Structure 1
Amino acid sequence: MARSGKDTDKRIKTGRGRTASQIRWLERQLNDPYVKQAKADRYRSRAAYKLIELDEKFGLLQNASRVVDLGIAPGGWAQVVRKKRPKAGIVGIDLLEVEPIEGVTILQMDFMDDAAPDALTEALDGPPDLVLSDMAANTVGHKQTDHLRTMGLVETAVDFAVQTLEPGGAFVAKVLAGGTDNELLKLLKANFTSVKHAKPPASRKGSSEWYVVAKGFKGRD
């Protein structure tokens, strides 16, 4: 993504009614080139560029025809898929309400609900060839607890992918620093021909997030 060196950092002049962390967040947003680019490109969030960069590196969207977006809110990833693969079937799920996106089916429900997998595959009208997950558990400030909660979501997403993906399909999920747990990594390697970790440039430098990218689903016996 092109960046201009002309902009000077903006500072919030008053902290009235705001905490120090809120002021830092606002300043970071104002000075973030990805936030500015997202507005220019009409993406709903800067996270869109994470998928764009992962796609540039791994060719995830090249042949995607049926895509599942787990944790779709606010919709940036689905917008990227829609833009690059306008004829693909796309279904997303999130606990949060998401504004409609043309050509995308959005389910407002908990992915951890037992009914979610069937609801997703029925809405897609066929097995997905790409499962995307940008889900992360709400943090509580305790690193070990936050890690376990997020990895629980990743494990459920992996299980969904293994149970539903079309042979040759791909899976992408957000994980935290340290990458995928050993048992989960073993499961992915058993089911995909290629498993790698990546941190796209759009991920903030101070963020602990990484992504696991699994390609070439071997299929179910």
Structure 2
Amino acid sequence: MTRSGKDPHERLRTGTKRSTSSARWLTRQLNDPYVRKAKAEGWRSRAAFKLIELDEKFGLIKGATRVVDLGIAPGGWAQVVRLHNPRAQVVGIDLLPTDPIEGVTIFQMDFMADAAPAALAEALDGPPDLVISDMAANTVGHKQTDHLRTMGLVETAADFAIQHLAPGGAFIAKVLAGGTDADLLALLKKHFTTVKHAKPPASRKDSSEWYVIAQGFKG
């Protein structure tokens, strides 16, 4: 117990209006140091630290002049890009509403829609140097189905990157445990100089998420 009388590991009482799983999620959020740090530093989500850590390892943001953020909501990754490279032009897209971010063009629309790729490309002054994707499909609780749905998003994101990136550009995308499917991995290796997988420290240990980092787009 602390001197204030509060347990440092806060727990929530599960009321009749809150499911056990919801209470468990809220308790985890309250006790998550990355969540507390994000609030203290003004980041919109703890996910910001994932990109910060990936950037520290792979040097992705500094040299980028145009960045596309796929699955931008709530905006943590775009915040990181703007802080680390204020001169970069950033455009993002998400089905969910995203509060405005200075220097960022935001589309609230489905990235899978036919009009989405053209809208993103036209919002930039030229081809992007960096395409980042933290997209994941809404889970249905069936592991194989959830994996297939998320990988479908990754494949579409990779296709966008291959079609639009400037030579030398980079692509980052969230994948699930097991990494990138063989066909997609082969495609990325064909079009990029290096392709690696990483799990940043900010990713929860019990999470199945990993990231694929493809650098040196061959054009």
Alpha-carbon distance in 1 for matches of 2:15, 2:192: 50
Residue pairs, 1:21-32, within 5 angstroms = 21-32=21-32
2:203 partner letter: S
Could you say which residue in structure 2 is the equivalent of 1:140? Answer: 140
TM-score (norm 1): 0.95
2:80 partner letter: V
Could you say which residue in structure 2 is the equivalent of 1:218? Answer: 218
Kept after mapping to 1: 8 A contact 2:14/2:20: no
Q: CA deviation at 1:9?
A: 0.9
Q: Secondary structure at the match of 2:216?
A: strand
2:20 partner letter: A
1:89 partner letter: Q
1:149 and 2:155 correspond: no
Could you say which residue in structure 1 is the equivalent of 2:61? Answer: 61
Post-superposition Cα deviations, 1:25-47, rounded to whole Å, max 9, x if no partner, equal 11101100000000011010000
Post-superposition Cα deviations, 1:162-184, rounded to whole Å, max 9, x if no partner, equal 00000000000000000000000
Could you say which residue in structure 1 is the equivalent of 2:176? Answer: 176
1:189 and 2:189 correspond: yes
Alpha-carbon distance in 2 for matches of 1:72, 1:116: 14
1:73 and 2:73 correspond: yes
The alignment-based identity, stated in percent, is 77
Q: Secondary structure at the match of 1:124?
A: coil
1:119 and 2:119 correspond: yes
Could you say which residue in structure 1 is the equivalent of 2:207? Answer: 207
Q: CA deviation at 1:125?
A: 1.7
Alpha-carbon distance in 1 for matches of 2:53, 2:25: 24
Alpha-carbon distance in 1 for matches of 2:90, 2:68: 6
1:147 partner letter: H
Alpha-carbon distance in 1 for matches of 2:43, 2:16: 30
Could you say which residue in structure 2 is the equivalent of 1:49? Answer: 49
- Structure 2: gaps of 5 or more residues: 1-6
- Structure 1: gaps of 5 or more residues: 1-6
Kept after mapping to 1: 8 A contact 2:13/2:23: no
Q: CA deviation at 1:12?
A: 1.1
Post-superposition Cα deviations, 1:185-213, rounded to whole Å, max 9, x if no partner, equal 00000000000000001001110000000
Alpha-carbon distance in 2 for matches of 1:68, 1:120: 7
Q: CA deviation at 1:14?
A: 4.8
Q: Secondary structure at the match of 1:100?
A: coil
Could you say which residue in structure 1 is the equivalent of 2:92? Answer: 92
Alpha-carbon distance in 2 for matches of 1:81, 1:173: 15
Aligned length: 213
Could you say which residue in structure 2 is the equivalent of 1:15? Answer: 15
Q: Secondary structure at the match of 2:62?
A: coil
Alpha-carbon distance in 2 for matches of 1:126, 1:111: 19
Alpha-carbon distance in 1 for matches of 2:124, 2:175: 25
Post-superposition Cα deviations, 1:68-123, rounded to whole Å, max 9, x if no partner, equal 00000000000000100101000000011111001100001110111111100111
1:175 partner letter: V
Alpha-carbon distance in 1 for matches of 2:25, 2:143: 20
Q: CA deviation at 1:16?
A: 4.0
Alpha-carbon distance in 1 for matches of 2:28, 2:79: 24
Alpha-carbon distance in 2 for matches of 1:101, 1:137: 24
1:86 partner letter: P
